[in-house]
């Protein structure tokens, strides 16, 4: 086995291993450190002699590392003896009962509200997703030391706050579930439209979010919004193959070859949406329902924009935000015309909503172009380009602004 094999096993088994070690040791930070040490040892050992049971090898090695660490803590001899005596009973790969609850508990710990959003994202990708600090740094375009510092601080914060490794009580679980879902949503959003850098999409990040969300939905089958978020992710990711040209240039929705859309992902998304809809549509499921309308339409012109407007209005009632209003304006422009939509956008500007975002001038520039107010439109698009931190998106905005200056505006 080579490095790639070690990484593949770790990516699949990491959450189960760290969760089992945390239950075994009662120390979340120790469990994660021991698991990382086991991976480092595997990278050295496996190329020489591949284990018959790679996951079991990682678990056993990590457990030995954890016990060694505890033994080095001089005052904990009694605790070591207890752990050593219970090692066989704690063998998770031999006794998988409860492992799903352990993974779920790990998600809740990683997304605990005592942590900042950035720390929750980094810790979730590290201990639940199995990503290395280098992979997380590449995904979010931050230095590796920054990621490592966030993870270290997060583990220290969890230890200082004495966060127990357990599922929250039923009365708290639904409230805490929202935090877990929001972390997974942030991870997917970064993968589906990168906030900065030279790529529009980061599919590896998006697909990792889908994998984690699918795990959460399987562990919490009665939580509609877990299925709603899964549906949203699947239906959005289904369009990835058509969203960029081979050279990475963004392809606008009206120009996409819908034959490239992933029909299997659409099918999975619609199935998840059906599960979410059994008890009414929450915020994630409503967004998924909007994505489903797009997925079922043969073209932009044939899209049921009236339904999308209604769904955005419903979303604005259950989860109001300026971004929802901005997206509703785009739908209104398609359903009723740009003049009505511009009123919505101008209200956002007047209220000072989404300050510093390139999205408002982007949409306003599009609407002004359709209304024939070309000098204003070009100024808005140029402003949007200055604010945009994604190089691919910025290039599209500058191209549109230049087209307006040349007298051949691009709309879309």
CATH number, residue 79: 1.10.1740
81-116 per-position pLDDT tens digit: 545 444 444 444 434 444 567 888 888 999 999 999
- Residue labelled with tokens 């990503």: 131
Contacts of 122 (CB under 8 A, 6+ apart): 136, 147, 150, 151, 154
CATH number, residue 331: 1.25.40.10
In a domain, 106, yes or no: no
- Alpha-carbon distance values, 332 to 97, 138, 185, 366 (Å): 51, 37, 25, 13
Instruction: State the number of CA atoms in the 13 A half-sphere of 14 facing the CB.
Output: 24
Out of 66, 83, 98, pick the residue that ends a domain.
98
Residue 77 predicted with pLDDT over 70: no
Terminal CA-to-CA distance of the chain, rounded, Å?
A: 49
pTM given for the model = 0.79
In a domain, 136, yes or no: no
Contact indicator for 400, 381 with CB cutoff of 8 Å: yes
The whole-number average pLDDT for the span 159-177 is 85
117-154 per-position pLDDT tens digit: 899 999 998 888 888 888 888 777 789 999 999 999 99
- Alpha-carbon distance values, 407 to 281, 284, 397, 411 (Å): 45, 41, 15, 12
| Domain tally, the chain | 2
- pLDDT for 172: 81
- pLDDT for 87: 47
In a domain, 112, yes or no: no
Which helix (DSSP H) or strand (DSSP E) does residue 191 occupy? helix 170-192
In a domain, 244, yes or no: no
197-212 per-position pLDDT tens digit: 888 998 988 998 998 8
Reading the block at residue 288, the tokens are 């998924």
Residue 404 predicted with pLDDT over 70: yes
Share the mean pLDDT of the chain. 87
In a domain, 46, yes or no: yes
The whole domain housing 381 covers 318-412
Query: Mean pLDDT lowest for which of 237-241, 257-261, 276-280, 363-367?
Result: 276-280
In a domain, 302, yes or no: no
The whole-number average pLDDT for the span 358-368 is 96
Q: What is the DSSP letter of 250?
A: B
Out of 98, 125, 150, pick the residue that ends a domain.
98
Alpha helices by DSSP H, 238-282: 240-243, 263-276
215-258 per-position pLDDT tens digit: 899 988 999 999 999 999 999 999 999 999 999 999 999 999 99
Contact indicator for 305, 331 with CB cutoff of 8 Å: yes
- Alpha-carbon distance values, 250 to 29, 141, 205, 247, 300 (Å): 41, 20, 18, 9, 17
More confident residue, 347 or 16: 347
- pLDDT for 406: 65
- pLDDT for 56: 87
What is the rounded CA–CA span in Å between residue 173 and residue 7?
Answer: 32
Out of 66, 98, 130, pick the residue that ends a domain.
98
In a domain, 49, yes or no: yes
In a domain, 186, yes or no: no
Q: What percent of the chain has pLDDT over 90?
A: 54
């Amino acid at each position: 086995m080579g490095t790639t094999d070690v990484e593949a096993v770790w990516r699949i088994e990491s959450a189960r291993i760290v969760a089992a070690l945390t239950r075994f040791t009662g120390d979340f930070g120790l469990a994660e450190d021991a698991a990382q040490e086991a991976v480092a040892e595997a990278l050295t050992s496996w190329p020489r002699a591949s284990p018959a049971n790679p996951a079991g090898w990682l678990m056993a090695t990590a457990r030995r590392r954890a016990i060694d660490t505890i033994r080095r803590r001089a005052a904990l001899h009694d605790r070591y003896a207890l752990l050593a005596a219970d090692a066989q009973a704690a063998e998770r790969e031999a006794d998988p009962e409860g492992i799903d609850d352990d993974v779920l508990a790990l998600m809740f710990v990683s997304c605990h509200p005592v942590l900042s959003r950035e720390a929750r994202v980094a810790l979730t990708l590290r201990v639940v997703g199995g990503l290395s600090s280098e992979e997380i740094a590449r995904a979010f375009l931050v230095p590796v030391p920054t990621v490592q510092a966030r993870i270290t601080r997060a583990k220290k914060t969890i230890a200082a706050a004495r966060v127990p490794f357990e599922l929250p009580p039923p009365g708290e679980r639904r409230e805490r579930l929202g935090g877990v879902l929001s972390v997974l949503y942030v991870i997917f959003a970064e993968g589906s439209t990168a906030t900065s850098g030279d790529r529009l999409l980061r599919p590896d990040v998006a697909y990792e979010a889908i994998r984690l969300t699918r795990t959460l939905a399987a562990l919490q089958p009665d939580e509609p919004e877990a299925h709603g978020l899964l549906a949203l992710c699947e239906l959005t990711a289904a369009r990835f193959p058509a969203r960029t040209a081979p050279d990475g240039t963004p392809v606008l929705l009206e120009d996409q070859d819908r034959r490239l859309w992933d029909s299997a992902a659409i099918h999975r998304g619609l199935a998840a949406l059906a599960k979410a809809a059994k008890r009414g549509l929450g915020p994630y499921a409503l967004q998924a329902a909007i994505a489903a309308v797009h997925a079922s339409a043969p073209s932009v012109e044939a899209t049921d924009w009236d339904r999308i407007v209604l769904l955005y209005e419903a979303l604005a009632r259950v989860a109001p935000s300026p971004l929802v209003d901005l997206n509703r304006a785009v739908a209104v422009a398609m359903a009723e015309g740009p003049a009505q939509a511009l009123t919505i956008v101008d209200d956002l500007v007047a209220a000072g909503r989404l300050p510093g975002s390139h999205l408002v001038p982007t949409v306003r520039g599009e609407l002004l172009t359709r209304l024939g107010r070309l000098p204003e439109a070009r100024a808005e698009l140029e402003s949007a380009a200055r604010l945009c931190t994604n190089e691919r998106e910025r290039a599209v905005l500058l191209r549109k602004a230049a087209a307006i200056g040349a007298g051949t505006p691009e709309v879309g």
